[in-house]
Amino acid sequence: MYDNNNIFAKIIRGDAPSTKIYEDDYALAFQNIAPRAKTHILIIPKGEYTDIYDFTANAPTELQSGFWNAVRKTVEKLGISGNFRAVANTGAGAGQSVFHFHLHIMSDERFKTDF
């Protein structure tokens, strides 16, 4: 069950701050508050989905395609398009702590764009 009081829902609504990297109608990319790599970005869809399973099973095709397009645009903007990891922790047992689907983008390259 999706809880719209989670921190990422608040960030999308503008009720909590974030350092934005990329945003469009479908997704928002922002810096992780506690980075575990030189570049550690989170990308979230603008929709109420708890995890990657919920998102891929239930989000409309337009949102899914818009989300993955935003992933590509984000890594291109960061200048790390050939060198990164994308991770979606799914379920508390796998380390998920925020239950709004998010993709971690991590790279040992520091991103080249100044924000």
Catalytic annotation, residues: 102
* Contact range with ligand 5GP by CB under 6 A, out of 67-75, 78-86, 88-96, 106-114: 88-96
Give the integer Cα–Cα distance in Å for 45 and 12.
9
Amino acid at residue number 37: A
30 touching ligand 5GP, by CB under 6 A: yes
Of 6, 7, 24, 46, the one binding ligand 5GP by CB under 6 A: 7
Residues in contact with ligand 5GP, shown as a per-residue x/- string from 47 to 86 under the rule CB under 6 A: ----------------------------------------
Binding site for ligand 5GP (CB under 6 A): 7, 18, 30-34, 42, 89, 95-98
